[in-house]
A = this chain, B = another copy of it.
Amino acid sequence: MTIPTIEAFHLYDTTLRDGSQQEGLTLSVTDKLAVARHLDDLGVTYIEGGWPGAVPRDTEFFVRAATELELSTARLAAFGATRKAGVDVAEDPQVRALVDSGAPTITLVAKSDLRHVTGALRTTAEENLAMVRDTVAHLVGLGREVFVDAEHFFDGFLHDPDYTTSVLVAAHEAGAAVLVLCDTNGGMLPHQVTEIIEDLRSRLEAAGAGEARLGAHTHNDTGCAVANAISAVRAGITHVQGCVNGYGERTGNADLITLLADLQLKMGMDLVPEKTLAEATRISHAIGEIVNMPVSPRAPYVGASAFAHKAGLHASAIRVDPDLYQHTDPRAVGNDMRMIISDMAGRASIELKGRELGFELADEPELLSRLARTVKQREAEGYSYEAADASFELLLLDELGRVPSYSSVESWRATSQLGRDGTLETEATVKLRADGGGERERRVAIAEGNGPVNALDLALREALRERHPEVDEFELRDFKVRILDSQHGTDATTRVLVRTSGRGLEFQTVGVGPNVIEASWEAVFDAYTYGLYKSGVPGVSHAGER
C-alpha cells in the first residue's frame, strides 16, 4: 500500500454532528465551540459542526463559530441533505441554510441504497440521482468544497451495486471532492469492506470515475468500526470519519483517536505532528469532561487502564524492559504506563505539568515525590486534576509554601425548602474572617439563590467584596457534577468541576465530598482564591494552611 501524508489524507471528525446522536449526549453551543477547539488541537483536518437549518442549535453554532472560533489547522464543515424531491435546488430552504452557514466545506448526505430511496424518501431512482447532481453542482458552483456521504452505501451495494455505484458516479461528475462510503447501520466486517471497495473501484473505473477520491464512515455495531476504517484505508481510501472517544448513535462511530493512533503508530502514516499526538490523552479526557461522558478506562491508547499493569510477577521484568510489555510507548499518546510499585510515571507527568504552569521542578526531586504522593492520594479520594488545572496549581503552590489566602472560612449554611404554598426558597449564610485581620474583620453575609450552590456563591462573593471588590469581575461559567461510585446512589462521593472566567483568566477548579454542596463549596472557594491570586491581588501567604 502507499502511505498518504497529511496533505493527501483527511481526518474528518463528526463528534459535533454524528457523535451527538449518542443517547444521553446533549451539547450546548458553548460546549460545541469548546469541543471544536480541542479537535483543532488534535490536528484533525475537518470538523463537522452540525446541520444548520435543521437543528436550531447547529445554526447558531455556525453563527458563533464565525466570530468566536479560530482554527489553526482544521476546516469547518456543515452537514446537510441533498435537495428535496421535486424542488428546485435554489429554492430549497435546507440547502440555503447550508450556504448561509458560511462553512467552506459542505458534506451532503445522499441516499445510495435503492430501498431507502423508494421506501424512506418515497421518490424514484432517477429523481434521487438528479437530487444528488443538482445539489452538489449548486454548492460547487457557489465555491464550496463538497463531500458526499453515501448513506447505507455498503448495504445498498450488496443489494444493488449498479444503482449504488450510479449515485457515486453522479456525485463525482457533479464535482464532489470526496465520496464517503458509509456503513450507516454498522453491520460490516473488515474483509467485506475490502471486497466491496475493490469491487466498487472497478465499477467506478468502468464508469470513467476511477480517479474519484473515496472516504469511509464506519460504526461499531459489530465491534469493528476501527478495523473497518483500517480496511478501507488499506483498500486505498484517503478520508476517514469518526468521533472522539467513539461517541455516536447506537454503539458509536469509529473512535477517531484510536484510529489516528493506529494509522500513525502502527501503519506508519504521518498524519499529525508527534507533539500533537502526544496531546491525545489530554484532549480525549477534556472532551469527555465537556460532554459529561467520562472516557472509558478501557479506551485504547487514552484510557486510564490502557497502559496499566497489575504488577505482580512481572514487575521487575517490566521495569527492566517495559517495551516487552507494552504495544507502544504510552508517551506517544500522552498516556503513562501505570504500575502499583512505581511512582516514576507520576513524577514525570507532574514535572511536565509543572513546566506547563511555569514551575521548573526537575531539580527538586523531593518536592516532586511529595507532590506525586499528594496527587495520588487525592485522586484516590476522587479528585481529578485532568481538567482542573487551577486546583493542581494551588496544590503545587501549597507544596511550595506559596499558597495565597484571602479569607478563612468560619462557617456556612445552605437551605433549600419547598413551602406548603409550593414556593421554593434557597438561602445561604457565609461567615468569613478576612486574613490578616482580627475579630473586627469578620464578615457575615446572607444571600438567596436559585439553588444552594448559587446562594453560597453569592453569599461568599458578598462576604469577600468589601476587602476584595475584584471578585465581582469573576463569573462562574460552568458547573459539572459527577457521581464517582455509582454503586451507592445518592450517598456516593461527588466530584464537582467549576469553570470560572474573569480578569483575563479562564480556569477550572475541583471539589470532592460525599455532599454535593460541600464539594461545590470547595471548588467555588478555590476558584476565588485562584482568580484573585493569578490576577495579582495581594493576599496573605499561609503556607500549608489551605
Q: Which residues of A contact B (CB under 8 A)?
A: 21-24, 26, 28, 30-31, 55, 113, 115-116, 119-120, 152, 185-187, 189-191, 220-228, 230-231, 234, 246, 249-252, 255, 258-259, 261-262, 266-267, 292, 294, 296-301, 303-310, 314, 317, 320-321, 324-328, 340, 344, 384, 386-387, 409-420, 424, 426, 449-454, 457, 475-492, 494, 497-500, 513-518, 520-521, 524
Contact = CB atoms under 8 A, between A and B. Distances in A.
A66 to B, nearest CB: 18
20 contacts: A28-B484, A28-B486, A55-B344, A185-B327, A186-B327, A223-B259, A223-B262, A224-B262, A246-B298, A413-B417, A414-B417, A450-B514, A451-B515, A452-B515, A454-B490, A457-B490, A480-B483, A486-B499, A490-B498, A490-B524
The residue among A317, A328, A482, A484 with the most chain B CB atoms within 10 A of its own CB is: A482
Nearest to A430: B418
A298 B295 CA distance: 13
A491 B454 contact: yes
A331 to B, nearest CB: 15
Contacts of A514: 450-451, 454
Nearest to A416: B517
A489 B518 contact: no
Contacts of A450: 490-491, 514-515
Instruction: Please name the 8 residue pairs, one residue from A and one from B, whose CB atoms are nearest each other, closest first.
Output: A187-B327, A476-B489, A227-B227, A451-B515, A481-B481, A120-B317, A450-B514, A413-B417
A153 to B, nearest CB: 13
B305 A251 contact: yes
B417 A307 contact: no
A21 B490 contact: no
B489 A477 contact: yes
A424 B518 contact: yes
Contact of A387 (B23, B189, B497): B23
A258 B220 CA distance: 11
Contacts of A416: 413-415, 452, 515, 517-518
Nearest to A486: B478
Given A320-B119, A491-B454, A515-B426, A221 B418 contact: no
Contact of A252 (B225, B298, B478): B298
Contacts of A326: 185
B479 A449 contact: no
B387 A24 contact: yes
A172 B262 CA distance: 34
Given A223-B259, A451-B491, A418 B521 contact: yes
Nearest to A30: B486
Given A115-B324, A249-B309, A415-B415, 11 more contacts: A22-B305, A24-B386, A55-B344, A116-B317, A119-B317, A187-B328, A189-B266, A191-B234, A227-B228, A413-B417, A413-B418
